[in-house]
Amino acid sequence: MQTENWQTLVKEQQFNDVLMEWNAKINLVSRKKLNVLDLIEDSKLFFKGISFKPGDRLLDLGTGGGFPGIVIAINYPETKLVLVDSIQKKIGVVKDVIKRLELTNCTAICSRAEELAKDPNHAGKYDYVTARSVTVLQDLCLYAKPLLKQGGKLVTVKGGDISGEIHKTRKLDYVKNIEKMKFGDRILIIVEFI
């Protein structure tokens, strides 16, 4: 259940503040940005592609500074999240955000998707894999599928012309269905696997 109340708004503002504090030290988002409120709002597009149920497990692949993982953790406290990035300094920031915002429903680990797929603690354990600005859709499918439970879904947000990516992804023999929803110049994509 989404908790859109003043506490959620306070936590989102705290997330913004902590991230901007870190961004002055290490490059997480464009140095020109005065805040990340637009990235927080962009991350909320994922809410439209996920049927959140208490106890769902979600892996945010290539979380970077915590998008969309931290935003999901703030808004859906009953969801269990693992935020993953292959860059240790980014995971260090995300761990600091989790600690300072007192988010008890998520953890952050430094790893690559290929390594997690070999780990019995992660392989086939997730209801959803999310990714924002990570790689082309067909590669995302390759990384996400081994991490998902039977019936699990990949949810990603993209921009621009992605018709070529979708065409190539539809040809993958383990892709069952691709649903896309357009929101302005952003496209939410939900991939179901066989």
pLDDT tens-digit profile of 15-38?
Answer: 999 999 999 998 888 888 899 999
pLDDT of residue 4: 58
* 133 assigned to some structural domain: yes
pLDDT of residue 33: 87
Inform me whether the pLDDT recorded for 10 exceeds 90. yes
Contacts of 96 (CB under 8 A, 6+ apart): 18, 22
pLDDT tens digit sequence for 81-107: 999 999 999 999 999 999 999 999 999
Longest dimension (CA), the chain: 45
Q: Which domain holds residue 147?
A: 6-193
* 81 assigned to some structural domain: yes
pLDDT of residue 30: 84
* 153 assigned to some structural domain: yes
pLDDT of residue 29: 85
Counting the structural domains of the chain, the total is 1
* 124 assigned to some structural domain: yes
What CATH number is given to the structural domain containing 19? 3.40.50.150
pLDDT of residue 180: 95
Quick one: average pLDDT of 154-182?
Answer: 95
Average pLDDT score, the chain:
94
pLDDT of residue 1: 52
pLDDT tens digit sequence for 100-148: 999 999 999 999 999 999 999 999 999 999 999 889 999 999 999 999 9
15 vs 13: CA distance, rounded Å: 5
Quote the pTM value.
0.94
17 vs 66: CA distance, rounded Å: 13
90 vs 98: CA distance, rounded Å: 12
* 143 assigned to some structural domain: yes
Inform me whether the pLDDT recorded for 6 exceeds 90. no
Encoding tokens for residue 72? 């999901």
Inform me whether the pLDDT recorded for 2 exceeds 60. no
* 1 assigned to some structural domain: no
Quick one: average pLDDT of 37-47?
Answer: 95
Encoding tokens for residue 79? 């969801």
